[in-house]
Amino acid sequence: MSRRIFVSAGEPSGDLHGAPVVRALRERFPDAVIEAFGGRQMATAGATVLFPMERYTVMGFAEIVSKIPAHYRLLRAIERRFQAGEYDLALLIDYPGFHLRVAERARRAGVKVLYYIAPQLWAWRPGRARRLAGAIDRLAVILPFEERFFPSVGLPAEFVGHPLVDRGPWPDRIGSRRALRVPAEAKVLGIFPGSRPQEIERLWPAFRDAAMRLLRDRRCDRAIVAGTAGGSYPGAAEGDLTIVRGDPIQVFAAADAALAKSGTTTLEAALCDTPMVVAYRVHPLTSFFARRVMRVPWISLVNLVAGEELVPELLQRDVTPARLAAELAPLLDPAHPTTARQREGLRRVRELLGGPGAARRVAGMAAELMA
């Protein structure tokens, strides 16, 4: 009898990471029925997308509130399929607010649940792990310290490696500079102000002005911005900053040092062996509450994986052109001791992220649950 699997992503990053898992499941179970709440990536990989995520993925508080009724209708539709016995396994990827409820519905219906890319409860709400533990059968985590954290709150977890490792081969410095028309001997600053409009709006002015200072002081020869397709970067042309829209990895590979927003971006920099300074700004009210509920000493994933302050983190009022430029200046010199220390730390981070094959390991966990 063929297996029947429901895979749920809910947003673009989950769709991206879910696609290799769908392919790995297809290799292991060629006759399986794989249906999904997802997007084009998973559809291309071989899943039948019953619920296109584009109907539900939005940005902004007002837009999110407007989509709450649609999410509840989606939850009921998925629950009816669970109750009808249509699936042997629910594979849920990230998207914690919605997927915790999906997991609980699956458990009630007797459907096995595998959760991939755990919610970051270690940062905000460790107590909620007990609710998650009661709703899932297995947890596949992508950050090495999560394999220690979740068992400490009663939820066994298995580290499968980070899916970014599988994105290789990573571009080399020479080829990236050639593609970006950057001289081989130039000192290059890469600028990564994020992909969300709110991130860009809050970070861009300080990032731009810090880069202009470094160019003016001849600490670097070029400053390249990893821009989004629709992102707005006022003053870039006047400041002699180059905007490259598309995959940011080539900018990382070409850069001597990076100024990056917090998030997965920091792991991309580590995998490209690019020293960095991390900065982030949120609304002051968000920052006020965040400081009171955060359970971790750093915000950047690269520091959390390293278990130490490997890269500088500048937050809120500290995100000023002067502070950013001062922290970046030594990293633009490959011979500076600060650069050497950070590069050694980034090497350790790459080792800790595990080897290739995260999707295959997740598919193996799925097979065990359906055995």
Shared domain check, 121 and 93 = yes
Residue 220 forms part of a structural domain: yes
Q: Is the pLDDT of residue 292 over 80?
A: no
Shared domain check, 345 and 209 = yes
What CATH number is attached to the domain comprising 31? 3.40.50.2000
Confidence (pLDDT) at 296: 65
Confidence (pLDDT) at 103: 96
Spatial distance between the Cα atoms of 129 and 297, rounded to a whole number of angstroms: 20
Shared domain check, 210 and 130 = no
Residue 111 forms part of a structural domain: yes
Number of domains in the chain: 2
Q: How many other CB atoms sit within 10 Å of the CB of residue 137?
A: 18
Shared domain check, 22 and 148 = yes
- The answer to whether the beta carbons of residues 258 and 250 sit under 8 Å apart is no
Confidence (pLDDT) at 10: 84
Residue 107 forms part of a structural domain: yes
What token pair was written down for 258?
Answer: 């990076």
- The answer to whether the beta carbons of residues 282 and 315 sit under 8 Å apart is no
Q: Is the pLDDT of residue 286 over 80?
A: no
Place of tokens 């458990």: 107
What token pair was written down for 81?
Answer: 């399929």
Q: DSSP string of 222-274?
A: EEEEEE-TT---TTTTTTTPEEEES-THHHHHH-SEEEEESSHHHHHHHHTT-
Domain that holds residue 366: 4-161+355-370
Calculate mean pLDDT across residues 130-148: 92
Going from the C-alpha of 18 to that of each of 4, 103, 155, 157, 163, the distances in angstroms are: 16, 17, 22, 19, 10
Residues 6+ apart with CB under 8 A from 195: 228, 231
Strand order in the sheet with 188-192: 242-245, 222-227, 188-192, 257-261, 276-280, 313-315
pTM, to two decimals = 0.86
Spatial distance between the Cα atoms of 211 and 224, rounded to a whole number of angstroms: 9
Shared domain check, 265 and 127 = no
Helices (H), the chain: 12-28, 40-45, 61-83, 96-108, 129-133, 146-152, 173-179, 197-216, 249-254, 264-271, 284-293, 301-306, 321-328, 337-352, 358-370
Q: Is the pLDDT of residue 245 over 90?
A: yes
Residue 240 forms part of a structural domain: yes
What's the distance, CA 25 to chain centroid?
22
Place of tokens 């700004």: 281
Condensed to tens digits (0 to 9), the pLDDT of residues 315-371 reads 989 999 999 999 999 999 999 999 999 999 999 999 999 999 999 999 999 999 998
Residue 166 forms part of a structural domain: no
Residue 322 forms part of a structural domain: yes
Residue 147 forms part of a structural domain: yes
Reference 6, options 86, 99, 70; nearest CA is 86
Query: Is residue 65 very low, low, confident or very high in pLDDT (cuts 50, 70, 90)?
Result: very low
Shared domain check, 364 and 343 = no
What token pair was written down for 37?
Answer: 């709440």
Q: Is the pLDDT of residue 61 over 80?
A: no
Question: What does the mean pLDDT of the chain come to?
Answer: 90
What token pair was written down for 118?
Answer: 């755990």
Shared domain check, 220 and 120 = no
Spatial distance between the Cα atoms of 16 and 354, rounded to a whole number of angstroms: 19
Shared domain check, 186 and 84 = no
Calculate mean pLDDT across residues 241-254: 92
Confidence (pLDDT) at 144: 94
Confidence (pLDDT) at 68: 73
Residue 200 forms part of a structural domain: yes
Calculate mean pLDDT across residues 201-213: 96
Calculate mean pLDDT across residues 275-287: 83
Shared domain check, 231 and 101 = no
Shared domain check, 13 and 50 = yes
Shared domain check, 329 and 265 = yes
Reference 329, options 221, 222, 257, 254; nearest CA is 257
Condensed to tens digits (0 to 9), the pLDDT of residues 67-78 reads 678 888 999 999
Confidence (pLDDT) at 64: 46
Place of tokens 């009210």: 285
Spatial distance between the Cα atoms of 277 and 321, rounded to a whole number of angstroms: 12
Shared domain check, 111 and 75 = yes
- pLDDT: which is higher, 299 or 50: 50
Query: Is residue 299 very low, low, confident or very high in pLDDT (cuts 50, 70, 90)?
Result: confident
